[in-house]
Structure 1
Amino acid sequence: MWATLLCKHLQIKIRIGIVHQLVLLLMSSSLFLVVSAQSVPADNMDQEALLGLKSLVTSDPSGMLLSWGNGSACTWSGVRCNRHGRVLVLDLQGLNLVGKISPSIGNLSALHGLYLQKNQFSGEIPDQIGWLGQLQTLNASANILTGNIPAALINCTNLEIIDLSQNTFFGTIPASISSFQKLRVLKIGGNQLSGSVPRYIGNLSLLSTLDLSTNNLTGTIPYEFGHLRQLKYLQLSINNLKGTVPEPLYNLSSLSFFAIANNDLHGKIPSDVGFRLPRLLVFHICINRFTGPIPPSLHNVTNIQSIRMSHNHFSGSVPPGLSGLHNLVLYNIGFNQIVGNTSVLVDLMNCTKLQLIAFDENLIEGILPDSIGNLSSSLTRLYVGGNRITGYIPASIGRLSSLTLLNMSYNLLFGSIPPEIGLLKELTMLSLARNKLSGIIPAEIGDLAQLTRLEMNHNELVGEIPVEIGHLQHVLSLDISSNSLKGGIPASIFSLNSLSTLLNLSHNLLTGSIRENIGQLGQITAIDLSYNFLNGSIPVSIGKCQSLQSLSLSRNSLSGVIPGTIGNLKGLQTLDLSSNQLSGIIPATLVKMQALRLLNLSMNDLDGLVPNNGIFKDHSVVYLDGNPKLCYSNMLCYYIHSSHRRKMAVAIAVGTAAMAAITIVVIISMPLLPRKWLRNRKPKKLGSFIKKSHPLVSYEELNQVTSSFDNRNLIGTGGFGSVYKAVLHSGTAVAIKVLDLHKMGALKSWTAECEALRNVRHRHLVKLVTMCASIDFSGNEFRALVYELMSCGSVEDLIHKGRQGENVAGVNADMILSIAIDVASALDYLHNDCGEQVVHCDIKPSNVLLDEDMTAKVGDFGLARLLSPTSAGQDVSSTHGLKGSIGYIPPEYGYGSKPSAKGDVYSYGMLLLEMITGKRPVDPQFGGDMNLEKWVRDGFPHRAHEVVDERLRGTIVDICHEGQQQASAEQKRQQLMLNNIILPVMEVALSCALESPDERSTMRDALCRLKRIKEAFLKNHSF
């Protein structure tokens, strides 16, 4: 029995062994199949994912992606794989790629590192980014990505580095960030994020770098940030944070970078902050409301490199210890209430790495030390202006050979300007204004070849202006006004064609004539030569200064006539020629200067008739007193200039009155006169659509309400006629467009406009009230279109005249977005929703009008074209050849293409670019192959701020920019508008103004994008 049991046991054991072997074999086979099934398709999937990413890249300037598609993906540029052939790292940084991030990125399931920074990727990050469960580094900084930070990132729990800075993300900081317990770096600065700073960030215990700067974050700095014991880098600058700094934050002994500048924080900095933060390298708290003294312990942090505390309310004196900060590079305590003396400069002489010293706009007293030249040889900027510093400017200043900026203005300095200042060869800005400096201007000033700005105004300088100033070939602004300089103005100054901002020589003792070569200042904005003893005539060449906006030659002894060439200065806003000895008549060209807002010709010897139109219609901005020979009517001119004509004047006056009486009688009797003689002069029959849609108005009524079309009611002129404002008998305020039928194409224009407006009705199209097709009192054909009156003028006025004091306030970001949406709505309706497709053919700023609520409406359909055949089987068009205005005409029209909706899109894009840049498409600066669209596109997006109209730019470029006034809420708002509205609208404009019509956006697409910009902004920002 025992043997039998043993046999059975062995049989069972053998069977179990066989089964075990089979199981192992099957598992091995299965594993092999799984690996085989996964590895090969995964490789293919990675390759397809990369090709999907490439497919959405529209521009690859470096040709980096040309290798993609050849061979294994692991050999492609920017791709690194692991040993299994899976894509481990995708590095496309700094290639200037343009396009969108493809959702296929989510299929790179083995990806550990994704580097897309410094490109031009736009649109949103796809939610598929959440499929990358192995991702450790995500860097998409310095692009133009938008939308919310993807909530799908919550699945990427292995993330250690997130850098989405310098984009246009909006919304709040997502709660998903609290899930990243491995996170070491979080950089989301330079976006448009709003809401409060999340407290849960304080729970990310491994965090060493936190950058939330340059957003619109509100609320306070969370107390929980004091829990970040490994934090080394903290950047919260340029937000709207309020309150005080949490006390625990000063206990993070690991901190080396501490920046909370440009907020609304207050309170006192602990006096022992330097002992609590011994590793500090950077301490930036400028542009806040901190009070109390400068913490003495801060000067005990021996390795500190940058201290910026400007634009606060610090008081007291500068604490000792500066001489021991051998690594200090920047020291800025400007714009506070610091007292003390200039010995602070002596203390800083041991800081051999210093590049910037600023204690301007404080209460510092004393004299500049003779040893000032012993400051760091690396010093590039020295700000000591706005204090109570007295004494001489030491000659040793010339040893600071690296200086690019020297500001000593608004002090009590006296003595002469040392010639050694000419040794500062790198100097670009020199300001010595508002002191008591005397002596001559040293000729060595002319050695400052890099100088762009020179200010020596309001001193006691004497002697002549040195001709060597004419060597400053890069100078943009030159102000040496309010001194006692004498002699003539050197011709070399008028040869400085680099001058583009200001030439101010006023309030001196200058004599001689104004040189004819003043016309070489073609780029200058303002010239002031007033309050001198200049004589001779005003040079005719002044008309070549095409960029002039302000010209003052008052309080001199100038004689001769006012040159008519002044009328060539199309942008001139202010002209003051008062208190001279000018004679002759007022040039007719002054009437045509549409930008002119102030004209002072008083106290001269002018004669003749004063014009009654142009700027002369507004007596509040024209000064003519002190010219006894000027007259305001022909009758008065006769009376003034010739006494023997006085009787004749009386007779003429009586005769004129009689003729006027007869004319009135004739006009009143006109309805009673037989009109057979008019029957053969009836106007051509109008289409029934005109009569049905708009009851006609009589010529008599239009003549009456415009006071016989008096120029006082003229509000504009165009290619085919004039526009008058009036109020109809019904009480409706209107603009009456009277066509000049003698002009070729005028009648066709009228017909085209009537046809285009036959059935269109839209809130953003100027409403046609009625029309007139009649005979005037002379029996001539008369055509007029009567529109609703748009009381705030045109977008042309808003862009180019608003800055000169018009009733409109000037363009701003809100208006640009609003106008862009209004006009896009109108064009989308014309192109898609009004039955027959209407192409406007002349979209430009002067044809977009604004009502009292600043609502934009498209007008002037004189060149409009219906793309559907009319009843006669012909397309309606007002003119032959090119359709539109120069600068707004799409390129394809020049090659014979017919008008199309895409042509309107191009013109619309140019309209937006003009609103954003303030420059016309035909601006003189564009020549050769350069035009407005190319100029903007070349700067977009990374240099976009350089092409934006200065009125739209945020005024804070550097958050601690020395010499700036304290940042205001309006400045922050302006910067926010630039990022949130102007740049996105610029992108829409460029997509509309593409050269190829096939690549342009449609009006509907542009409208949708603009509405999304507005919705996103309103959702995330309020002021």
Structure 2
Amino acid sequence: MDKKTILLILICFIFPPLLCTSQGLPRFNNNTDQESLLVFKSKIIHDPLGVLGTWNLTSPFCNWTGITCNVTKQRVTSISLENLGLVGTIAPLSFLNYLSLLNNSFFGSMPQEIGRLFRLRMLSLGSNRIQGRIPVSLSLCSRLSSLDLSDNRLQGTIPSELGALSELENLSFSKNYFTGRIPSSFGNLSSLSNLILMSNSLKGPLPEGLGRLPFLIQLQIGLNNISGEIPNSLFNSSSLIILAMTANRLTGTLPPDMFTNLTSLTTLFLGANLLSGRLPPSIGNASSLTRVDLANNSFSGQIPWLGNLPNIQILSLQSNQLVNDGPSGMDFLTSLANSPQLQVFSVAENRLTGKLPSSIGNLSRQLSLLVMNNNFFQGTLPGEISNLVNVTLIAFEHNSLTGTIPPSIGTLPNLQYIFLHGNRLSGKIPESLGNLTYLAEVHLSNNLLEGTIPSSLGNCQRLQLLDLSVNLLNGTIPRDMFRIPSFGMVLNLSFNSLTGFVPSEIGSLNMIQAIDFSSNKLSGDIPFTIGDCSSLLYLDMSRNWFQGTIPNSLAKLKGIDYIDLSSNKLSGNIPVSLESLRFLQVLNLSRNQLSGEVPTAGIFRNLTAVSLSENLELCGGVPGLGLPKCDSPGKKSSGSRLRIVLIASFAFIFASVLVVWFVTRKKDSGIREGNEEAGSPEIYPMYRQHHLKLATRNFSSEYLIGEGSFGSVYKGVLNDGSWAAIKVFKMGQHGAPKSFLAECEALRSIRHRNLVKIISVCSAGDFKALVLKFMPNGNLEQLLHPTSESEVEKAFGMNQRMKVAQDVASALEYLHHDCETPVVHCDLKPSNILLDEEMTAHVTDFGLARILLKNSPNAHFSSSLGLKGSIGYMAPEYGMGAGVSTRGDVYSFGIVILEMFTGKKPVDNMFNGDMDLQDWVSMHLAGNSQDIVDHELKQKEGRPEYDEGIGRMLNIGLMCARKSPEERPSMREVSLMIKKVKAGLPE
């Protein structure tokens, strides 16, 4: 079939059949439908399941997969090709009333001709990669009742012309990049039931007309930048069932009678806004409510009576300024006994006072999370809490609770997390805690607990964290505690009065990451078996009565970051083997009785990291220590101490976080003393799994912003209202644990304005996540390939490309040349280059990063072999078994530069056989380089004064992407070259 015939067929599908009855154009018939479907099929470049195999002339097209026809006319009325992994562009069809391509990989722009589908009633293109703007012509599809364009890469403003779709019932544009305001014309969509615009960059006030839509049942506009007050008309909409506006900048107060009018409302999400005033008293009678989130606002005043919420499941009022004054101040809690479906209840971080009533035990038996921390509650923790048989977490930390921990707490069969630290609880720790078989974390620090540590805790075989620090505990450490196989996070017994020896069974804790026994009365030798705690990152045994020598086995702790053995009675020499601890940041051996020569390599060269004061018989060491020379220095041959340096097994998850965690807690106790020599890195906030679940609405697909081989990335709103990117690792995926550990190790010690900033790390059993700074402008991949022409001019011109190139070069220069130990990224590509609100580039995803060996003849090679990187960007020597080197990153950077200025991916179909991106660029640079410049850049910013700069950048890319690593420049040289090119460009 020739091109003319195909064109005629498409014209007839686009325009009404009457136009195809004259002047030689073919009349519409089912043969035309068949030809149009074949044209549609021709646009599909990848069909992984082979579903379009039935689309051939051997069977009637009405029997083809996904096709539905009109029975009498045998015309195609419906195409449904959902969840099939199809890749291609969308070809327009005309006789359809139903088109669903949901959850595939269609790319390109929406065709302008789509407005000719005048019969179309349902258009579902969600979860694809469609880019550009919404065609204004879509408003001509006057019979549309359902329109789903969610989870794509659409940009620009939402056309106000869509307000003319009078039959539209469902509209979803969530998870795109729309800007501007919600069109006021949406107030004219009189048939609209569901309006979903979540996760965009919409701003401005809400249209007043939305509240007057008679059939509106769902309005979801969370995760935008919408400001101003909520229109009063919305509070009078009796049809509304779901009102979700979390994480915007909404201001004002809520009307007292709003729930009297919103009689059908089941879901109200207004968290993380700027709302103030009192909570509406009418909330107590909103019997239809199931989920309410008003957290992270500035609500004040009394919490109203909540006695008529029979269907409520989630109620979060945390992080406000609420009070409960007067004798009836706790009635809100008592009244919730009438809510048998309640599963999550949080009033944390308010200004609540008084005693907790025994009626707390009358809360729902379905309650899972009870969160009341950071208030001013007094009195005892009621024993009736044991009635909450399904509770998994109780959080009452940082209040003023007194009395004993009720033993009945040990009868809660599903309890996993206990947060009672920062109170004034006294008495003994209940033995009944040993009955909690699901117990994972126990936080009882900063109280007045006394007596011995119950040996029954050894029965909690899923325990991962135990913090009993800053109490009045005495007696010995039970051996049974060291027989818990899951103990993988923290054991903190510091600032008590514990006595006796540390059991040798401590070596069984081979997953533990932090041990703190400081400020007790422990004695005896430090067990040699402590070297078997192979995952240990933090060890503090200071201010005790330990004696004997420092065990050589500490050198087995290859990932250790912090060791403090100060203020004991240790004697003998400092083990030379401690020199091999490459990641050790703090070593405090002060105030002991150590003697002999101080080692001179490794950490002992860092005067700010090592403290050896008040050990009067030490000598030697590096000159800066100021120690006397040793009387009889031993002879040293050049090969007397062969340094055996092993690449750590990436077990460096919480190094910096844990150091700060302990130091901060000790400062809070008011009794931390000594140890002034030990430095501490940047302070990170601590987030737990339930915090991240709240931030992302339990990792809802609506918050998903990207997926990779080892994890998924969500955007979420943290407790302080700030945005974050939360990378959750798929720990069941082969290689994911290694990727998580590698990324943590790389991010823990590097700081640069062009590297992604880590906010926190969360690790609990099989759950591993990184909390990173959110980048609102996406990644370089999205700028180079999915953007429309109008958006390229706006978002990515010549000077901005140069800025991104310079930013990335600066980041790599830092990693290769300015870190104490060089870091190789190993997976540099456009999708791993993120852009913040000012379009500054940040390199991310250190899941394959490698720390290079130092002081080795082959210092530019890692001992970890294998393929490192992504196809097209990976250095060719990696494919031949070479080790990781900084020159590999240089190669990847060169490919990125060539892609930035040509718009061609290294895996483009045009590159096959002997031709690759470098050869193609080289061939054209010898002639007319303008032939290969990205057409978006050439068309919109084709200024002659840029030509020389583009040519120089392409040459830099070619130099970096040379096949031989020895011929590539260093990133220091590359960074300087780019700065010179940028300086010569006009502003």
TM-score, length-normalised on structure 1?
Answer: 0.61
- Matched AA of 2:586: L
Matches within 5 A, 1:761-910: 800=745, 803-804=748-749, 811-812=756-757, 849=816, 887=864, 889-890=866-867
Match of 1:189 in 2: 174
Which of 222, 225, 229 is the aligned partner of 2:207? 222
Which of 358, 362, 374 is the aligned partner of 1:386? 374
Match of 1:485 in 2: 473
Which of 85, 90, 105 is the aligned partner of 2:79? 90
- Matched AA of 2:540: S
Matches within 5 A, 1:304-383: 304-320=289-305, 322-340=306-324, 341-383=329-371
Q: Which ranges of structure 1 fall in alignment gaps of 5 or more residues?
A: 1-27, 653-715, 719-795, 825-843, 860-882, 916-980, 1017-1023
Tell me: CA distance 1:337–1:898, structure 2 relative to 1, closer, same or farther (3 Å): closer
Distance in 2 between the 1:999 and 1:126 partners? 36
Give yes or no for contact 1:101–1:126 (8 Å, CA) kept in 2: no
Match of 1:292 in 2: 277
Distance in 1 between the 2:504 and 2:53 partners? 59
Cα shift at 1:307:
2.4
Matches within 5 A, 1:14-413: 38-45=28-35, 47-49=37-39, 51-52=41-42, 55-57=45-47, 59-60=48-49, 71-83=59-71, 84-93=73-82, 95=83, 97-104=84-91, 106-107=92-93, 109-119=94-104, 129=114, 132-143=117-128, 146-149=131-134, 153-320=138-305, 322-340=306-324, 341-413=329-401
Give yes or no for contact 2:401–2:425 (8 Å, CA) kept in 1: yes
Distance in 2 between the 1:513 and 1:1001 partners? 67
SS at match of 2:187: helix
Distance in 2 between the 1:904 and 1:39 partners? 61
Match of 1:932 in 2: none
Tell me: CA distance 1:92–1:454, structure 2 relative to 1, closer, same or farther (3 Å): farther
| Alignment partner of 1:599 is 2:587 | yes
Cα shift at 1:884:
7.3
Give yes or no for contact 2:865–2:882 (8 Å, CA) kept in 1: no
Tell me: CA distance 1:280–1:847, structure 2 relative to 1, closer, same or farther (3 Å): closer
Cα shift at 1:368:
2.5
Which of 602, 605, 609 is the aligned partner of 1:614? 602
Cα shift at 1:277:
2.4
Distance in 2 between the 1:232 and 1:910 partners? 58
Distance in 1 between the 2:172 and 2:298 partners? 30
Distance in 1 between the 2:344 and 2:469 partners? 29
Tell me: CA distance 1:456–1:32, structure 2 relative to 1, closer, same or farther (3 Å): same
Give yes or no for contact 1:905–1:1000 (8 Å, CA) kept in 2: no
Matches within 5 A, 1:563-712: 563-633=551-621
Distance in 2 between the 1:1004 and 1:281 partners? 61
In the TM superposition, what whole-angstrom CA distance separates every residue of 1:422-443 from its partner, at most 9, and x where no partner exists? 2322223221112222222223
Distance in 2 between the 1:161 and 1:475 partners? 50
Give yes or no for contact 1:905–1:992 (8 Å, CA) kept in 2: no
Match of 1:454 in 2: 442
Distance in 2 between the 1:512 and 1:296 partners? 59
SS at match of 2:352: strand
Distance in 2 between the 1:484 and 1:272 partners? 52
Distance in 1 between the 2:389 and 2:511 partners? 31
Give yes or no for contact 2:41–2:52 (8 Å, CA) kept in 1: no
Tell me: CA distance 1:516–1:114, structure 2 relative to 1, closer, same or farther (3 Å): farther
Distance in 1 between the 2:135 and 2:555 partners? 58
Tell me: CA distance 1:600–1:1011, structure 2 relative to 1, closer, same or farther (3 Å): farther
Cα shift at 1:201:
2.4
Cα shift at 1:499:
3.3
Cα shift at 1:314:
1.4
Give yes or no for contact 1:103–1:129 (8 Å, CA) kept in 2: no
Which of 392, 403, 407 is the aligned partner of 1:415? 403
In the TM superposition, what whole-angstrom CA distance separates every residue of 1:351-404 from its partner, at most 9, and x where no partner exists? 122122211222222322323222112212111222222233233222212212
Give yes or no for contact 1:888–1:910 (8 Å, CA) kept in 2: no
Distance in 2 between the 1:397 and 1:607 partners? 56
Distance in 1 between the 2:127 and 2:118 partners? 24
Please tell me the root mean square deviation across aligned C-alpha atoms, in Å.
Answer: 5.2
In the TM superposition, what whole-angstrom CA distance separates every residue of 1:137-190 from its partner, at most 9, and x where no partner exists? 223334555554455634534322122334444443344533433222221223
Tell me: CA distance 1:470–1:858, structure 2 relative to 1, closer, same or farther (3 Å): closer
Give yes or no for contact 1:470–1:493 (8 Å, CA) kept in 2: yes
Cα shift at 1:535:
2.4
Q: Among all aligned residue pairs of Structure 1 and Structure 2, give the percentage whose two residues are the same amino acid.
A: 32
Which of 412, 416, 432 is the aligned partner of 1:428? 416
Give yes or no for contact 1:845–1:911 (8 Å, CA) kept in 2: no
Distance in 2 between the 1:999 and 1:442 partners? 73
Cα shift at 1:339:
1.5
SS at match of 1:413: coil
- Matched AA of 2:90: P
Tell me: CA distance 1:158–1:309, structure 2 relative to 1, closer, same or farther (3 Å): same
Distance in 2 between the 1:300 and 1:220 partners? 29
Q: Which ranges of structure 2 fall in alignment gaps of 5 or more residues?
A: 1-17, 636-644, 648-740, 758-771, 785-810, 827-859, 922-931, 941-987
In the TM superposition, what whole-angstrom CA distance separates every residue of 1:609-643 from its partner, at most 9, and x where no partner exists? 3334433333223221121122235999996765x
Cα shift at 1:350:
0.9
| Alignment partner of 1:507 is 2:491 | no
- Matched AA of 1:803: R
Distance in 2 between the 1:176 and 1:908 partners? 55
Give yes or no for contact 2:350–2:375 (8 Å, CA) kept in 1: yes
Tell me: CA distance 1:622–1:160, structure 2 relative to 1, closer, same or farther (3 Å): same
| Alignment partner of 1:440 is 2:417 | no
Tell me: CA distance 1:901–1:403, structure 2 relative to 1, closer, same or farther (3 Å): closer
Give yes or no for contact 1:427–1:451 (8 Å, CA) kept in 2: yes
- Matched AA of 2:367: L
Cα shift at 1:218:
2.3
| Alignment partner of 1:524 is 2:512 | yes
- Matched AA of 1:615: I
Give yes or no for contact 1:215–1:238 (8 Å, CA) kept in 2: yes
Cα shift at 1:309:
1.5
Q: What is the aligned length?
A: 713
SS at match of 2:548: strand
In the TM superposition, what whole-angstrom CA distance separates every residue of 1:285-307 from its partner, at most 9, and x where no partner exists? 22222221111123233322222
Distance in 1 between the 2:933 and 2:823 partners? 18
Match of 1:832 in 2: none
TM-score, length-normalised on structure 2?
Answer: 0.63
In the TM superposition, what whole-angstrom CA distance separates every residue of 1:660-684 from its partner, at most 9, and x where no partner exists? xxxxxxxxxxxxxxxxxxxxxxxxx
Select the structure of larger CA radius of gyration: 1
Matches within 5 A, 1:694-773: none
Tell me: CA distance 1:238–1:858, structure 2 relative to 1, closer, same or farther (3 Å): closer
Distance in 1 between the 2:748 and 2:878 partners? 33
Distance in 1 between the 2:610 and 2:602 partners? 11
Distance in 1 between the 2:478 and 2:933 partners? 56
Tell me: CA distance 1:991–1:333, structure 2 relative to 1, closer, same or farther (3 Å): farther
Give yes or no for contact 2:548–2:570 (8 Å, CA) kept in 1: yes
Tell me: CA distance 1:847–1:380, structure 2 relative to 1, closer, same or farther (3 Å): closer
Distance in 1 between the 2:247 and 2:774 partners? 27
